[in-house]
């Protein structure tokens, strides 16, 4: 009896959608998702749940390597753990057209192939971040860089600070305003776009 096809998708923020990844995955028996960047596994509850769910004979299908892992070490650990004879789970990467099957963890060529492609993906992410930083530096030099746009008005900023001073929790403030807790902390600490706003 063949196992299940278990899909996993991830986007970096709640404003993005899974459409392209879902199209790449095709039909799956179960689907797990994360709507956050998450540099480590523990920061991606959907992935943790998927890894607990898969059983011997199942295939974990992901649109691309960078959706499963944020680093080469992370990629290597996840694939190696799943494809051990004990776990018996295959891992399929649609974009790269690669499937790693149980028992391959001891195959040096399969390991090299996985590490090489993962390293290329990691390098690509680094280059993108570097280009973004260079673009920001050039924009700052020209005096046209404005940073991130503010999500809250001056009035809302004042309300947040007043409520926090009165003991309101940051989590509740974030929910009430429909923003992240990180943004609330930025407002309270006058960071980023909220630097220099009236206290």
Q: What is the pLDDT of residues 158-181, one digit of tens each?
A: 888 888 888 888 888 888 888 888
pLDDT for position 109: 67
User: How far apart, in whole angstroms, are the C-alpha atoms of residue 116 and residue 95?
Assistant: 15
pTM over 0.75: no
Give, in degrees to the nearest 5, the angle at Cα 51 between 48 and 56.
165
Active site residue 12: yes
At residue 100, does pLDDT exceed 70? yes
Higher pLDDT, 157 or 197: 157
> Which of helix, strand or coil describes residue 6?
strand
pLDDT for position 158: 86
Q: Which position among 2, 12, 15, 80 bears the catalytic label?
A: 12
Asked whether the beta carbons of 139 and 124 are under 8 A apart, the reply is no
CATH hierarchy code of domain 5-120: 3.40.50.1390
User: How far apart, in whole angstroms, are the C-alpha atoms of residue 5 and residue 8?
Assistant: 10
Q: How confident is the model at residue 71 (pLDDT cuts 50, 70, 90)?
A: confident
User: How far apart, in whole angstroms, are the C-alpha atoms of residue 189 and residue 175?
Assistant: 19
- Each domain of the chain, given as residue ranges in start order, spans 5-120, 154-194
């Amino acid at each position: 009896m063949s196992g299940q096809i278990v899909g996993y998708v991830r986007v970096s923020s709640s404003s993005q959608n899974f459409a392209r990844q879902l199209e790449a995955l095709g039909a799956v028996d179960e689907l797990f998702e994360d709507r956050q960047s998450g540099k480590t596994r523990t920061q991606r509850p959907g992935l943790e749940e998927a890894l607990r769910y898969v059983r011997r004979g199942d295939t974990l299908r992901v649109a691309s390597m960078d959706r499963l892992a944020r680093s080469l070490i992370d990629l290597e650990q996840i694939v190696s753990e799943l494809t051990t004879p004990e776990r018996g789970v295959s891992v399929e990467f649609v974009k790269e057209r690669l499937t790693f099957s149980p028992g391959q963890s001891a195959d040096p060529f399969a390991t090299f192939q996985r590490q090489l492609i993962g390293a290329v993906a990691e390098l690509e992410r680094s280059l993108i971040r570097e280009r973004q930083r260079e673009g920001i530096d050039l924009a700052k030099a020209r005096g046209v860089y404005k940073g991130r746009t503010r999500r809250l008005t001056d009035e809302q900023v004042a309300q947040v600070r007043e409520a926090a001073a009165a003991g309101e929790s940051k989590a509740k403030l974030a929910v009430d305003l429909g923003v992240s807790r990180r943004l609330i902390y930025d407002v309270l600490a006058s960071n980023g776009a909220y630097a220099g706003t009236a206290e």
